[in-house]
Structures are given as structure tokens and as C-alpha cells.
Chain A
């Protein structure tokens, strides 16, 4: 049986004793080669979940096995084959685009660094900005640099936190196409936390609906639409966020 990209068992995080868990008993197995979505309102536990999957946050209970490596005991072996992108975490803004990519090429021990960086600059239409400080780029250009950094090591598992937040529709569409191409070419797994339902419908083959730190529903976008009798995921999201049971909706 193929090693899953992510095996998550009973993942729980309580920040302070006595508080309600931010994530409560999350379990799922995500295979390689698929894009999954993590949906939920503000405070649903998406960011906490992603931080635990990346090893940035120690779970209160449960475990994460990424690409066959237990994140509690062997996280660096997994991290070398993973990557992450979020518009909320900056890259050093005084370094040029190329310098930023060089730094991360070294950190991920990327072979043939020059070629890989040139490839990514071209792929993300960044060649003309290669020598410009990252802080002087537009929001769309910064997002492309962040994605280039996230793909520098050709990750087998890519975690994305709202990858198209604050982008105009054209740039957002361009980024989604780039992600689709990467998954198709590499066979990598991608987990996407997003508030953009159209994006999730387009990219994801499976969706985990989070509310109050727990998975309240899961399935393919088509399954969820059918189950809730809705035309788009946004309506399904609202049904779940507002506590409307699927039976009463149907």
C-alpha cells in the first residue's frame, strides 16, 4: 500500500487548560497525487491544523505522519520533502527575488540550484523581477515569489494557506492554473486552506469542512453539493457555518 501524504489521527490542540480545543480529534488520511481543501469559518481551526501538520505547533494529543515520517519524532525528514506558502508570512523584503530563492534552495539542499531557480523564475513570470527586492513587488508578484519558494524543493506535500488571498481575479486564476499544473506534473499532494469556494471547487478532489475545531462533514465537492442540495460550495459552507442540518436543507 502506498504511503499516504498525510496520516492524521486524533489531532487535538488546546492552547490553555480548560479552554475549548482549537482543534478537536481531527483524523484523516490524504493520499499522494490529490488536492484536498480545508474549509471553515474564522476560528474553525484551519490555521492551527496547518501549523500542527508543519510541526510549528505541538499537538495536545494525536499524531501526524507526513510522507511516512512521524512529525513528533522525525519531522526534519518530512520537512525536507514538504513546503508551505502563506500570504501572511513574509519573505525577507530587502533581499531580491533571486536571493530569496537562493536562501531557500540552500535550506532545502536543492541540487543544481541555478537551473532550478531559473526554471521557477520563468515558470512564475518573475525573470524580469529577479534582481528587485521582494519588498518592492506588488501583492500578485509577492504571491508568485512565495509560490516559487514553496516549489523550490519540488515538494511531495504542499500546504497552502489561502494562496490567492488579496489577488485580483486574473492573477488568482493564473496561480490556480500553476498549482494544477504542478500537481499534475509532480504527483504531489496539496492541502489547501481557503475561504474562496470557487477555488476549492476547482482545485480540490476532497473537502474537509471544519467547525469548532472538528470535521463536521467531508467529501468531494460534488458529493457535498448533492448532499446539501446546493448549487455551489459557498451555500454549503453557509449551511454548515450557520448550523443548518443537511436534512433540513434538503
Chain B
């Protein structure tokens, strides 16, 4: 990467960071939902702990770990797609695309913003989970870094595809930026093993990178082992998902240039 490319990526990040610098409600909004989710699921696990006796601590860990790690995926996807939508809402895409900013630099800038937004969103919830419910997600060990990386990559792949749909259908497709991950969650085995799903649905679930991460998380929390096979599958699938999403994005970007949609995509 050249110095100019790094500077263009930073320029795009600066544009978003400048918004957060002056607006505490925006920063609060980032943390609000992950913390709320954590509080609600914390009480649910506390209730289950009372009902189920000695298995409760493991169950609590599995549920709270699921909540926290799924938030990583969700916030990664939303952080990317909503940063792109900010450009659509401010009708700034025309200026961006007549600058020397390459499409891959745009994607890198959005991914970098997604990392920062995810950290700002999920870190307070992780700390809260420790102080309120005694659950430290870091008890998963160093493998946690790999889990988080695999989930963030999946979030970017979904966000790239959503961004491509926004390029194709305009701001009318923005609802996908908010809702698409909720549609994937039931099949991603966040709170239950893939084996719980109907037989015909299990192969589908196993094509989702997150399903392998959550299988790995449960293996680490319940048996104290690192499921390297699941981790490897998660990263292989991430690469496939990212490649497909990048292809869709580039195809739709080109189509937007053919149709002349880049100037009026905010309309």
C-alpha cells in the first residue's frame, strides 16, 4: 500500500471520526444496543442458573458468550454498511467517486471504521458482563482473537453485499443494512449447537462462518478445548464469502457507472 493510498483511507476515516468527535449521542448510540442485549441476556442466564443448578454457570457462559460474539458480527456488518449509508444520506458519493479514491480504498476505509465502531460498541458490553454477571469473555483465551477476526470478516462480507445492493437499488435497500444479520442469526447456531437444527438445515448452517465460530466457542467453554477444525472452516468460509461479496460489489459498482447511478444514489 502506498502512502497516498493510506492517506486516502485515513481521509475517509477522518470524515466519519469527525462526526463522532463532536456528537456524544452518536457514541452513546453505538454502545446502547450491545449493552442492552447484554443486560437482558444476563438476567435470562441468571434466571436459568436458578432453575438448572450446577450446569448453570456453563449455560450462562455459552449464552453470554453467544450474545457478545454475535454482537461483534452484527456491529462489524452495521459499522461498514452504515458508514457507506452516511455517504448516501449526505449525497457525498459524487464527490468521493470523482476523487482518486479507489474502490478498494473505499472498502478498506469502511472496514477500518467498522473495526472502530465494533470496539466502541462491544467493549463496554464485555466489561459490563464481567462486573454484573462475572462472565469474562477473555476466559476463552488467546483463541478469542481468532473468533473475533472470523466474525468480523463475516460481517464485512455481508456488509459488502448489502453495499452492492444499495448501489443497485439506491437508498431503498438501506433496510437491509439494519436487518440482514437478524435473518442469518437463527441458522448461525449462536445460542445452540448446529445439531439442534433439523437435519436438512444443518448443511446450510455449516456454510455460515459464524456457525463454526460458535461451535468452537462452545467447545472452549464446555470442554476447555480449541476446535481448530471449526476455526479453519470459519476462515475458509470467510474467504469464500468475502470473494463472492467483493465480486458482487465490483459488478454492481461497474453497473452503477454504466447506469449513471453514482451521482443520484441519495435520491
Contacts and interface: CB of A to CB of B under 8 A. Distances in A.
| Chain A bound to chain B | yes
Given A58-B258, A86-B94, A104 B11 contact: yes
Interface stretch (B37-45, B98-106, B112-120, B139-147): B98-106
Interface string A67-97: 0000000001001101110100111111110
A103 B11 contact: yes
Interface residues of B, number: 32
Contacts of B95: 84, 89, 91, 104, 149
B128 interface: no
Contacts of A57: 257-258, 260, 262
A106 B14 contact: yes
A94 B91 CA distance: 12
Given A79-B99, A86-B94, A107-B100, A51 B14 contact: no
A17 to B, nearest CB: 12
A58 B12 CA distance: 25
Contacts, number: 96
Interface in A203-242: none
Contacts of B257: 55-58
Contact of A56 (B11, B18, B97): B97
A84 B18 contact: no
Contacts of A104: 11, 95, 99
Contact of B98 (A55, A91, A99, A103): A55
B263 A89 contact: yes
B98 A106 contact: no
Contacts of A166: none
Instruction: Please name the 7 residue pairs, one residue from A and one from B, whose CB atoms are nearest each other, closest first.
Output: A106-B11, A89-B94, A80-B100, A107-B99, A92-B90, A90-B91, A107-B11
Interface of A: 15, 47-48, 51, 54-58, 76, 79-80, 82-84, 86, 89-96, 99, 102-109, 149
14 contacts: A51-B263, A56-B262, A58-B254, A76-B100, A79-B98, A79-B99, A89-B95, A95-B18, A103-B12, A105-B11, A107-B100, A108-B100, A109-B4, A109-B8
